Amino acid sequence: MTETNSEPVAIVTGAAQGIGRETALLLSHRGYRVVVNDINVEGAEGTVAEIRADGGTALLALADVADEPSVQRMIADATETFGRIDALVNNAVAYEHEIHISDIDIETTPDKTWERTFGVNFYGAVYAIRHAIPVMRRGGGGSVVNVGSTSGFSGDTVHVAYAASMAAKYSLTRSVVTSHGKQGIRCNAVATGLVLSPTARKNLSRDKLEAYDANLLVEDFAEPRDLAAIIAFLVSSDSRYITGQTIIADGGFQAHQPWHAQNHIVHPETVR
């Protein structure tokens, strides 16, 4: 049964942990009714329970975003339950271990890794936007945020499929607002650098963290809640004049020359 309620509604995909979880919690705290999506049952249920324990309203949506019929059902359930969709945060990402270790370079990355990576990271956003826009339009408009990575801007020796899927997500962002902006639809993206999520803390070695830290232009690594704050701003009316943009939130990685960490060698005269 559809609720008659003026409180806004947000769908957050990949909300079982990390950025998605923190975004769902923050949006709930700011008055949104939140649809919590993930394939991680335990994690998603935990996010829903925390929202409800804090007095918020949450709907559990266990769906693989790479499967369009599942996404369509999620949108339909959200609409049937709440009557509207005001914000959509496409945060889900393919993070299965076998995907991560097999996504190397153009020669060696297998087709199934490309398919799963694009299925979740790119097509997951396509399907969700496709089915959410008609609901948003009926309600007078809405805001979409596509969460990605700075890998979509820079090449690396690994994760070719992941990087390509992120670049495609940013192009999608611009196309959505070009075709639907005058219908009240805003769409932006957030390109993140290294975020110290629970998974990152568990998997990254001290040496790797030190290598990242040498290239940061801020004092510390980002936490998931730092990105949640940016996403919450982008879905809100406070950012109503920002659309079609990819906001880089990486602690300055994209801002400097690639030899920044070796500046004492390249430009020793600047060392203080």
Q: pLDDT of 117-153, one tens digit each?
A: 999 999 999 999 999 999 999 999 999 999 999 999 9
Which DSSP state fits 157? S
Nearest C-alpha neighbor of 90 from the set 178, 199, 11 = 11
Is 267 a domain residue?
no
Q: What does the block give as tokens for 167?
A: 């670049």
| Pairwise CA distance, residues 30 & 221, whole Å | 25
Taking the C-alpha atoms of residue 270 and residue 272, their distance in angstroms, rounded to an integer, is: 6
Residues of the domain holding 77: 9-249
φ, ψ at 125 (rounded to 5°)? -70, -40
Q: Is residue 263 within 8 Å of residue 216, measured between CB atoms?
A: no
Question: 213-245 pLDDT, tens per residue?
Answer: 999 999 999 999 999 999 999 999 999 999 999
Share the mean pLDDT of the chain. 95
pTM for the whole structure: 0.95
Look at the chain and report how many structural domains it folds into: 1
Residue 116 is assigned to a structural domain of this protein: yes
For residue 25, tell me if it sits in a domain: yes
pLDDT for the residue numbered 6 = 87
42-96 residue pLDDT tens: 999 999 999 999 999 999 999 999 999 999 999 999 999 999 999 999 999 998 8
* 222 DSSP assignment: B
Q: Are 92 and 137 in contact (CB under 8 A)?
A: no
Element (DSSP H or E) covering residue 239: none
Query: Would you say residue 197 lies in a domain?
Result: yes
In a domain, 161, yes or no: yes
CATH number where 64 lies: 3.40.50.720
Q: 163 lies in a domain?
A: yes
Could you tell me if residue 261 is inside a domain?
Answer: no
Which tokens sit at 139? Answer: 């309600």
Q: Cite the active site residues.
A: 162
Q: How many CB atoms lie within 10 A of CB 253?
A: 19
Amino acid, single-letter form, for residue 20 = G
In a domain, 258, yes or no: no
